[in-house]
């Protein structure tokens, strides 16, 4: 006999990796991303407004994104209080990325990496991205184009840096 | 890659849309016409395809997050069956005992009423405590804290 929690976990499991990458990209910290994913899962288990199966991915990614943004806002407040020198050390630690593509992605500004992670790492359609980011569907294509161009330039810069080091 | 023309900037969003299969038929035709005469954009499309494939491949190498403490184990059916059998047995025995007790003519009526009141009181107290526990569990703000 499956509990409601187990049914929901099964629906969410295929999207966990993508969701964690999204949180990681936004928060730039692996452990914060894990905490964020944990919180999002708890919300998913307890909410009365759990979506129908077809909308689960967009809904869950939206929850993770909002939660990450909340954490970023909190972090900003803490920074202004100048009370988190140790936390900042953790936050500024570069993400362990083995591939140049992921490294370049983590170096992009927040607004650009956000949309790219949703499209490339979560395979979201333009309609889903529009729902998650709460922007018009028409804006998604141009934002993605700008983000891809920025990633292309970033990758070229990384490759040039590697060649110079060699 | 050859130089980009002023026209190329207009087609940049369409290149991205083509990569994602999100173009309308009209947009596809427009882009195809442009690609046929523009080497710069054709090369760029190929580059973007490679970039996209690299990202997806890198994602696949990352470990899948697991939340073992959130996957509660399923209660086996036989356990439910055990509880059910015990409850049914208790109800039958309790009902039979109560019937025998009421029917027993050797006991005075006041004693029957007093014993009945004790059992009723115990039942009311049990239900009261159970209800209280349920309310507490509902409003417990720390029940999600996992140590």
User: Is pLDDT of B94 > 70?
Assistant: yes
pLDDT at B70: 61
Query: Do A78 and A103 share a domain, yes or no?
Result: no
User: Is pLDDT of B95 > 60?
Assistant: yes
From the list A17, A116, A121, the residue facing B65 with the nearest CB is A17
Highest mean pLDDT pick, A36-45, B57-66, B118-127? B118-127
Q: What mean pLDDT comes out for the span B36-49?
A: 91
Residues in Cβ contact with A68 at an 8 Å cutoff, skipping those fewer than 6 apart: A22, A23, A26, A27, A33, A36
Asked if residue A60 lies in contact with residue B101, where contact means CB atoms within 8 angstroms, the answer is no
Give the closest residue to B43 by CA, choosing from A142, A140, A143, A152.
A152
Cα-based torsion angle of the residue sequence B139, B143, B145, B147 in order, rounded to the nearest 10 degrees? 150
Q: What mean pLDDT comes out for the span A155-166?
A: 81
Percent of chain A topping pLDDT 70: 85
pLDDT in tens, A78-129: 655 444 444 444 444 445 556 788 888 888 888 888 899 999 989 999 999 9
pLDDT at A112: 86
H helices of B3-108, where?
Answer: 6-19, 25-37, 39-61, 77-103
Count structural domains, chain B: 2
For residue B20, the enclosing domain spans: 6-61
Q: Which of B1-5, B38-42, B44-48 has the lowest mean pLDDT?
A: B1-5
Query: Do A89 and A148 share a domain, yes or no?
Result: no
From the list A2, A105, A148, the residue facing B74 with the nearest CB is A2
pLDDT at A29: 83
From the list A2, A34, A121, the residue facing B55 with the nearest CB is A121
Query: Do B52 and B13 share a domain, yes or no?
Result: yes
Task: Compute the distance between CA of residue A66 and CA of residue B5 in angstroms, rounded to an integer.
Answer: 40
Task: Give phi and psi for A21, each to the nearest 5.
Answer: -65, -40
> Is the minimum CB–CB distance between A156 and chain B shorter than 8 Å?
no
Give the end of a domain, one of A96, A129, A147: A96
User: Is pLDDT of B124 > 50?
Assistant: yes
pLDDT at B8: 87
> Is the minimum CB–CB distance between A17 and chain B shorter than 8 Å?
yes
Give the end of a domain, one of A96, A115, A145: A96
Asked if residue A150 lies in contact with residue A140, where contact means CB atoms within 8 angstroms, the answer is no
DSSP H or E stretch at residue A16: helix A16-27
Query: Do A8 and A90 share a domain, yes or no?
Result: yes
CB interface of A with B, residues 75-134, below 8 Å: 97-102, 105, 116, 119-121, 125-126
CB neighbours of residue A126 within 10 Å: 20
Query: Do A110 and A89 share a domain, yes or no?
Result: no
User: Looking at the domain assignment, is residue B94 inside a domain?
Assistant: yes
> Is the minimum CB–CB distance between A41 and chain B shorter than 8 Å?
yes
For residue A126, the enclosing domain spans: 97-166
User: Looking at the domain assignment, is residue B15 inside a domain?
Assistant: yes
Query: Do A39 and A74 share a domain, yes or no?
Result: yes
Token pair recorded at residue A95:
């993400």
Task: Compute the distance between CA of residue B62 and CA of residue B41 in angstroms, rounded to an integer.
Answer: 32
Give Cα separations from B122 to A6, A86, B23, B91, B119 (angstroms): 37, 57, 72, 16, 5
Q: What mean pLDDT comes out for the span A40-69?
A: 90
pLDDT at B86: 95
């Amino acid at each position: 006999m499956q509990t409601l929690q187990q049914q929901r976990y099964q629906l969410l499991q295929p999207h966990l990796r993508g969701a964690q990458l999204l949180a990681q990209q936004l928060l730039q910290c692996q452990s914060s991303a894990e905490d964020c994913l944990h919180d999002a899962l708890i919300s998913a288990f307890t909410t009365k407004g759990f979506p129908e199966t077809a909308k689960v991915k967009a809904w869950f990614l939206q929850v993770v994104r909002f939660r990450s943004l909340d954490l970023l806002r909190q972090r900003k407040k803490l920074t202004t209080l100048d009370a988190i020198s140790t936390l900042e050390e953790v936050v500024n630690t570069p993400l362990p990325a083995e591939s140049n593509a992921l490294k370049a992605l983590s170096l992009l500004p927040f607004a650009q990496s956000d949309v790219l992670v949703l499209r490339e790492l979560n395979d979201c359609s333009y309609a889903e991205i529009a729902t998650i980011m709460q922007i018009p569907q028409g804006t998604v294509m141009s934002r993605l184009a700008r983000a891809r161009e920025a990633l292309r330039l970033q990758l070229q810069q990384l490759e040039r840096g590697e060649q110079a080091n060699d | 890659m050859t130089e980009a023309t002023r026209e190329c900037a207009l087609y940049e969003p369409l290149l991205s849309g083509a990569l994602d299969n999100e173009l309308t038929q009209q947009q596809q035709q427009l882009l195809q016409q442009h690609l046929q005469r523009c080497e710069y954009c054709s090369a760029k499309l190929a580059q973007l395809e490679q970039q996209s494939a690299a990202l997806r491949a890198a994602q696949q190498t990352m470990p899948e997050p697991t939340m073992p403490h959130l996957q509660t184990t399923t209660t086996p059916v036989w356990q439910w069956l055990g509880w059910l059998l015990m409850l049914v047995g208790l109800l039958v025995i309790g009902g039979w005992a109560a019937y025998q007790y009421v029917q027993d003519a050797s006991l005075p009526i006041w004693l029957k009423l007093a014993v009945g009141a004790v059992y009723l009181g115990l039942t009311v107290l049990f239900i009261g405590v159970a209800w209280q526990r349920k309310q507490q569990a509902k409003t417990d703000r720390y029940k999600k804290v996992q140590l």
